A and B are shown apart, each in its own frame.
Chain A
């Protein structure tokens, strides 16, 4: 394992060191806002101590990234494969257009989480957020799974405009202690999660629990809800040939 002290480093220098390290495991110490860490990483793992900058793990392609603190915006942008684990909070545009791999966030995530995620056959991205998520969650969702666990039992588990333009995939929301579900747009509807719904995320939930050492009882003391799109062809009837 190699340790890189990022103090005072420009992102280009830091990322070049990481890319050329030749070690399977790299730990970045004193990270303070350097962007694009782990971009397109195919193998190996990066542990970040401190706070990485925007676009951590963009186009991630199989590598593993662990952040011990908080992250900024655009974590896992257009991620293809691999795993990102964040022990703190994540910023806006988490997992934008993600198409594979998994992102687990222990804390909250910002606006526009999981916008336009997609899936193809067995390639199916997963985002699990432990706390709450901001507005525009899962906009234009075309595939994959987003789970917002609301483990602190907040009244609202997401902000406004959840699932606007959604035409594929599933959003799971967890409520407890009378927390309420968000208003949904006409493109989506919600039901209490069925056995089949839960089976779809069980393995990922188990992994999430063990990564963050959360009690199973705590998780399943709440109720789970599944948001699905009403149509996969929402625009077909919008047009007439000129």
Chain B
């Protein structure tokens, strides 16, 4: 049988009148789209290889290139869309599980976009952050349930270890291996300069980056890659990864092709061997087992560091978080179903889990109802796209937010969603030295600092508008939010009124 040809989704358009045949596009494209044809003296384009990453477009000195959506269509069908049909073609040809990268691109409700923020008028005047002090610093970790004094009446410091972040934003876990050395370097430098934290993900910590330990969260996942006492003790906090928003309930497989040289040493597995993170931790079958891992990590670090438990937002997340809050965890990180990934089975990414907005609101309410909200801080993640999303998340009960995709976009990611190929033209999701060197860590760090400085100012502006001068007063302050176009059940879960109420 003839193999099924899938017409490319995007096409490269070359303006021949502008093209000078400099062949930069040919050199820049790691996918091999552009090829100089000596017999015709022209550059041929193989659109089937194009990931639509815009590398050639941006590098072209004469703006001769653009990528357009291919006009090729199937017969119109609202049910059997072109995507549904081509996915069947691909699976029928290969027998493979469909693999995708980055967050869920499907058209599903984004609740952040249906929530509006309040502002003061006349009474409780708004505050101008340019002339008045505004506090966006957060302390993440358990807060004491009561004030204790010694026999002389002096305060006893009963505060357990905290993470102090100068703004309520952290960088999400992205492992060395899934992203490049330069990405970690840029994140580490930016986190240090901003007084926040980046997260190693589950691939261990490269020896060059131990010096950024005070701004590093190290992760312990089911594969326990790169986990040893020095790694644990180098960090400001330890995160146990139980789940990830993009792929709840499954593990991870970093292909052997990405386990090269330094990645191999940092993960402590042989070069070329697949790095397999099993779906569950095979020593965690209950909240009690989770407590055992938390306790052993605290014993290993002499009770000096907060322990974060990261879970994916799933249907029973409120009850799960209630259990985690009692397991000795200091911080719970919840990752919504739109969260990013270096690779996940498409069906899982697009169909498993729930939105962060609903998960966060119900977890915050449940922990308050159970009287354990102060025992843990909450970090919300899973597609935080801008500062307004952060303000909304904090008003829904988060202590802070994590950003992964937004940080990568700042570093040059164009969301072509081809991370799994390992040929990222922007030097981000690749281990190929010639591609990694395209990313300048200094410049990357500067852009991350720019982005978050701007966001932090926007957060202050929005807080000021509400007449709030401390992020603590925004936390869980649902009165500052109203829904628009949401039904009664959605409003009930979010714990907010409708606009106009």
**Contact surface of A with B, Cβ cutoff 8 Å:** 11, 15, 19, 35-36, 39-40, 42, 54-55, 58-59, 61, 73-74, 77-78, 80, 93, 96-97, 99, 112, 115-116, 118-121, 123, 136, 139-140, 142-143, 165, 167-168, 232-242
Contact = CB atoms under 8 A, between A and B. Distances in A.
B99 A239 contact: yes
Given A120-B268, A236-B256, A242-B100, A77 B274 contact: no
A74 B296 CA distance: 11
Given A55-B292, A58-B300, A61-B229, A239 B268 contact: no
B273 A96 contact: no
A143 B259 CA distance: 15
A88 to B, nearest CB: 20
B96 A239 contact: yes
B295 A36 contact: yes
A93 B256 contact: no
Contacts of B61: none
23 contacts: A36-B295, A58-B300, A77-B296, A78-B220, A78-B224, A78-B228, A80-B228, A116-B224, A118-B225, A120-B265, A120-B270, A140-B278, A233-B255, A233-B274, A237-B96, A238-B97, A239-B96, A239-B345, A240-B98, A241-B99, A241-B421, A242-B90, A242-B346
B276 A165 contact: yes
A233 B278 CA distance: 15
B300 A235 contact: no
B292 A74 contact: yes
Contact of B268 (A39, A42, A99, A237): A99
Given A36-B295, A143-B270, A241 B420 contact: yes
Interface in B256-294: 256, 264-265, 268-270, 272-276, 278, 282-283, 292
Nearest to A98: B224
A116 B96 contact: no
A235 B163 CA distance: 38
B204 to A, nearest CB: 10
B99 A240 contact: yes
A17 to B, nearest CB: 13
Given A233-B255, A241-B99, A242-B98, A167 B274 contact: yes
Given A59-B300, A233-B256, A241-B421, A96 B272 contact: no
Contacts of B270: 119-121, 143, 168, 232
By size class, the interface of chain B is 35 or more
B227 A97 contact: yes
A28 to B, nearest CB: 15
B299 A40 contact: yes
Contacts of A143: 269-270, 273
B299 A119 contact: no
B382 interface: no
A240 B97 CA distance: 6
Contacts, number: 152
B306 interface: no
B223 A97 contact: yes
A190 B29 CA distance: 45
A58 B90 contact: no
Nearest to A81: B228
B255 to A, nearest CB: 6
Given A39-B299, A143-B269, 14 more contacts: A40-B229, A59-B232, A61-B229, A99-B268, A115-B283, A120-B269, A120-B270, A123-B268, A139-B278, A167-B274, A240-B96, A240-B98, A242-B87, A242-B346
B94 interface: yes
Contacts of B228: 59, 61, 78, 80, 99
B302 interface: yes
B42 interface: no
A125 to B, nearest CB: 11
A58 B268 contact: no
A232 B278 contact: no
Contacts of B220: 78
Ordered nearest first, which 10 A-B pairs have the shortest CB separation?
A: A240-B96, A97-B224, A40-B229, A40-B300, A39-B299, A239-B99, A242-B98, A240-B94, A36-B299, A120-B268
Contacts of A15: 299
B365 to A, nearest CB: 33
A142 B269 contact: yes
A71 to B, nearest CB: 14
Given A59-B296, A242-B99, A96 B269 contact: no
Contact of A58 (B269, B274, B282, B299): B299
A22 to B, nearest CB: 15
Nearest to A237: B96
A54 B293 CA distance: 10
Nearest to B99: A239
Nearest to A111: B282
Interface string B36-60: 0000000000000000000000000
Contacts of A55: 292, 295-296
A93 B282 contact: yes
Contacts of B224: 78, 96-97, 99, 116
B20 interface: no
Given A59-B229, A168-B270, A236 B255 contact: yes
Given A58-B300, A80-B228, A120-B265, A232 B253 contact: no
Contacts of A235: 253, 255, 274, 276
A119 B269 contact: yes
Contacts of A241: 90, 98-99, 418, 420-421
Interface string B77-103: 000000000010011011111111000
Contacts of B91: 240
Interface in B209-265: 220, 222-225, 227-230, 232, 253, 255-256, 264-265
B272 A232 contact: yes
Given A40-B229, A123-B268, A112 B256 contact: no
A107 B345 CA distance: 43
A78 B97 contact: no
B269 A116 contact: no
B273 A168 contact: yes
Nearest to A241: B99
Contacts of B95: 240
